[in-house]
Chain A
Amino acid sequence: ETGVTQTPRHLVMGMTNKKSLKCEQHLGHNAMYWYKQSAKKPLELMFVYSLEERVENNSVPSRFSPECPNSSHLFLHLHTLQPEDSALYLCASSQDLRDTQYFGPGTRLTVL
């Protein structure tokens, strides 16, 4: 599915770096999501935005900072990460909060 794109696909960063993950959806959806998937584990919801407003914050450490400038774009700003933050970060979108969620290909993040 190419309706939701994510960049970069792979990222290696040191603990002192600052980087950003980008998600873009071309489906005209109103809701966007960030999920974290650690190795061999199910997805964990991090953030939910609906109409550019954050509606869910799942007790995520402040070293992860989301930004939703418009309904088509979602960013995840990263700073001072830890090695245990290494994971696959998936973005999703849906028409509204109760509708089917469609996922991007993910960014595989490695923190050294």
Chain B
Amino acid sequence: GIQVEQSPPDLILQEGANSTLRCNFSDSVNNLQWFHQNPWGQLINLFYIPSGTKQNGRLSATTVATERYSLLYISSSQTTDSGVYFCAVPYNQGGKLIFGQGTELSVKP
């Protein structure tokens, strides 16, 4: 089955710093989602991005489907950005998503 790998596994930033999170996947996909899981467990949709670049405030994402990777950029990080960032790709047409292991981000004041 398809493999999804995220890097780095952990990241500590000072407030105001920028960061790039990476998601590699082993097979071609027709969509990719980025999620942020806050410290209380809530998963929040960030991007649905099968290809190209999207921006939402301080966050942006780029997926290069032909090279099987996606990047999530966080600029001017804030303490509320702390949590785990997951990327997920579909396994089949039946709604099954395969999640990466996540990047745990900690933003220090």
The distance in angstroms between the C-alpha atoms of A88 and B41, with both chains bound, is: 8
For the complex, would chain A's binding face be called helix, strand, loop or mixed by DSSP majority?
A: strand
Are A103 and B94 within 8 A (Cβ)? no
- Asked, given contacts A100-B48, A103-B42, A108-B41, whether A55 binds B94 with beta carbons under 8 Å apart, the answer is yes
Asked if B69 is an interface residue, CB under 8 A from chain A, the answer is: no
Asked if B25 is an interface residue, CB under 8 A from chain A, the answer is: no
The distance in angstroms between the C-alpha atoms of A88 and B37, with both chains bound, is: 12
Give chain A residues whose Cβ lies under 8 Å from the Cβ of B78: none
Are B96 and A98 within 8 A (Cβ)? no
Give chain B residues whose Cβ lies under 8 Å from the Cβ of A90: 41, 43
The distance in angstroms between the C-alpha atoms of A106 and B37, with both chains bound, is: 11
Quick one: which of B27-55 are within 8 Å of A by CB?
A: 30-31, 33, 35, 40-45, 48
The distance in angstroms between the C-alpha atoms of A108 and B35, with both chains bound, is: 19
- Asked, given contacts A98-B31, A100-B48, A103-B43, whether A43 binds B99 with beta carbons under 8 Å apart, the answer is yes
Are A100 and B45 within 8 A (Cβ)? yes
Are A31 and B95 within 8 A (Cβ)? yes
The distance in angstroms between the C-alpha atoms of A110 and B95, with both chains bound, is: 28
The distance in angstroms between the C-alpha atoms of A55 and B93, with both chains bound, is: 10
* Tally of chain B residues near chain A (CB < 8 A): 23
Count A-B pairs with CB separation below 8 Å: 63
The contact string, 1 if C-beta is below 8 Å from chain B, for chain A 39-63, is 0011101001010000110100000
Our pick among A33, A50, A98, A103 for the contact of B90 (Cβ within 8 Å) is A98
The distance in angstroms between the C-alpha atoms of A108 and B100, with both chains bound, is: 21
Asked if A97 is an interface residue, CB under 8 A from chain B, the answer is: yes
Asked if A20 is an interface residue, CB under 8 A from chain B, the answer is: no
Are B96 and A45 within 8 A (Cβ)? yes
Q: Nearest chain A CB to B89's CB is how many angstroms away?
A: 12
Which of A's residues lie within 8 Å of B, judged by CB?
1, 31, 33, 37, 41-43, 45, 48, 50, 55-56, 58, 88, 90, 92, 94, 97-98, 100-103, 105-106, 108
- A-B pairs, top 6 by smallest CB distance, nearest first, are A97-B95, A42-B99, A103-B43, A100-B48, A106-B41, A48-B95
